[in-house]
Amino acid sequence: MRPLILVTGFGPFLGLAVNPSEALARHVADVDHPTHDFVALSPLPVELEHAAERARQEAVSRSACAILALGVARSSDEIRIESTGRNRSQSNEPDARGQIASVEIILESAPATLRSPLDLRAIGRSLDANGIRWRESDDAGGYVCNDLYFRLLDAHRGGAAPPTAFVHVPLGADEIPRLRDALAEGMANALLALAQPGERIA
């Protein structure tokens, strides 16, 4: 059986009727990759804690070797590869259940920040090779994207989830040529760092 990577995208939220991460996750799952299989869990609910637990459970039930989590950054015009999850929620906007976490520690027993163990620069190199603009980021925000990322990184730290990479995409990302293939190839290459540690996003 080939290694499987779970790809997640979010559904609509806060007036955004169409979330490009939802369609893009399914597009990545359609890639016929030579070494890895991809499966989509999309859309995830835009809900604090619940989104992360659904992704974790799905990854475990499918014996996924990694999770590629996608979210939308409406104010950005380029791809953002997130290196770090932060142990705090800080938003005045409600999630899909109406829950607001204005300033709140996500997990009391966890450190202030957690970094992905994956070679995230491999994703960047794949985007470069396909002429797609991207940048590094160490702050996934204070809303559900960061909540998902931090919880999954902490679950991996405790052996309860595979490693995760989080990528923020701009509006219209599901229509960017070659993006799905670049993400699939980059994610497959990023897994190599677990066996052969290399340079990661600082």
| Phi, psi (rounded to 5 degrees) for 87 | -85, 60
Tokens matching residue 20: 């490009």
Give CA 175 to chain center in angstroms. 18
The pLDDT assigned to 197 comes to: 52
Residue 18: its pLDDT value, please? 85
Write the CA distances from 128 to 91, 109, 125, integer angstroms.
33, 38, 5
What sign does the dihedral 44-45-50-51 (CA atoms) show? positive
What's phi and psi for 19, nearest 5 deg?
A: -95, 115
* Successive 10-residue mean pLDDT values, the chain, 202 residues: 96 82 97 97 95 98 98 91 96 87 88 97 98 96 96 98 97 94 98 64 43
What pLDDT is attached to residue 199?
Answer: 46
